[in-house]
Amino acid sequence: MDRQMPKEYENALKTGTTTVGLVCSDGVVLASDRRATMGHFIASKDVQKIFDIDENLAMTVAGSVADAQALVRMLKAESRLYRLKYGKDMKAKNAAALLANMMFQYKFFPYWVQLIVAGKEEDGFGVYSIDALGGTTAETCTSTGSGSPVAYGVLESNYKEGSTVKDMVPIAAKAISMAMKRDSATGESVDVITITKSGFKRLEKEDVKKLVES
């Protein structure tokens, strides 16, 4: 499927960041940097780009901060409504479909973001990549943002389907770390989260630092 978009959309999305998402045998791993840029200016050195939607669902954002924050708020609200209506947690595929529909409705005035949605499914775990026009693909290993070409080099050399979360956490951290060295819009530090049967967990900064330096 051709998921290319007009150049003006493509340029808007490449405003800086790198995120990755990996499916493992026992969960998912998401990672990102923490730098926010405005052109060549570093606007912030400690921006959250991975959000917990609930205990079993999370998303990463690349692109416009305001658009990303709006989508996170909406998805959190929809997740709560889903639990009240159906008596169970929203699955990753449900969240991806909902976000894709939201973004498609605004395709002429799009949200300037690229998203990764990850979490539990009915059977196992899933990761979905969503572009600014609502195009969605199910992935086992994916990356978004301006540093994604560098991150993909690390992921495609080291990612193996069926690996455990424990094995893939260092790979995700290394992918972001390498992107930070080559992409000026990606930087500061690495943020890593996991979702397993135990739920959402954000790794401590010192633990991530040790992974990057090892």
Q: What residues are annotated to the active site?
A: 17
User: What is the distance, to the nearest Å, from the Cα of residue 28 to the centroid of all Cα atoms in its chain?
Assistant: 11
- Cα dist. 14→37, 41, 145, 166, 189 in Å? 11, 14, 6, 30, 19
What would the two tokens of residue 8 be?
A: 């003006």
Q: In sequence order, what are the residues at sequence separation of 6 or more whose Cβ sits closer than 8 angstroms to the Cβ of residue 33? A: 17, 18, 49, 147, 176, 179, 180, 186, 187, 188, 189, 190, 191
Chain position carrying tokens 């540093």: 147
Count of CB atoms situated within 10 Å of the CB of 38: 11
Quick one: 93 exposed, middle or buried, by C-beta within 10 A (0-12, 13-18, 19+)?
middle
E strands present in 111-208: 113-120, 125-130, 136-139, 141-144, 190-196, 199-202
